[in-house]
Structure 1
Amino acid sequence: MPESRTRRKNRKPQGGSAVRAEDKPLPKWYKPVMFGLMILGLIWIMVYYVAQTAFPIPGIGGWNIVIGFGLAMVGFFMTTGWR
């Protein structure tokens, strides 16, 4: 029975060195924005509870929780792309 061809590993691209997308460094604003959104979401929720639902936006009630968690979750989702 014939054997299958072996695969070559660590193959370099032809025509020079190509930079892959995952090898590119992140922009300098990425990390401060990521941590800033997580902290802003936490502060938003803390202010909502400490002010007894009077702040940050008094007219929307419980939606302040959704806004706070939404801000924090965007920050947490940004951590998946952090290198």
Structure 2
Amino acid sequence: MPKSKARKKAVYTPPQMSKQVKVSPRWLAPVMVASWIIGILWISVYYVAPNAPFIGTLENWNLLIGFAFIIFGVVLSTRWR
């Protein structure tokens, strides 16, 4: 039986890439949590005291404002590493 030939080509090795760990900014987590809390509190205060001086004049826009804060927090959470 004939001997098998040695491999002429080198085995593929992928190039070495330096993996840098991405770190989120220090302000991101506090702003994210604060925006969730502000949104929940805004909606809660609207339901508890709908006739408050500033909140009562906005009527149903209060829900939009509260949900905007909450959605802003969710958008920031997608940037968190």
Q: Same fold (TM over 0.5)?
A: yes
1:26 Cα deviation after fit: 1.1
TM-score by structure 2 length? 0.71
Structure 2: segments with no counterpart, 5+ residues: 1-11
Contact in 2 for aligned 1:45/1:65 (Cα 8 Å): yes
Cα RMSD over matched residues? 2.3
TM-score by structure 1 length? 0.69
Q: Does 1:11 find its partner at 2:15?
A: yes
- Paired residue secondary structure (2:42): helix
Question: Would you say how many aligned residue pairs link Structure 1 and Structure 2?
Answer: 70
Partner in structure 2 of residue 28 of structure 1: 26
Q: Which has the larger radius of gyration?
A: 2
Note the alpha carbon deviations across 1:26-45, whole angstroms, 9 max, x for none: 11111000011011100000
Q: Could you say which structure has the greater relative contact order, defined with CA pairs below 8 angstroms and 6 or more residues apart?
A: 2
Structure 1 residues 52 and 58: CA distance shift in structure 2, 3 A: closer
Structure 1: segments with no counterpart, 5+ residues: 1-7
> Deviation above 4 Å: which 4+ runs of structure 1?
none
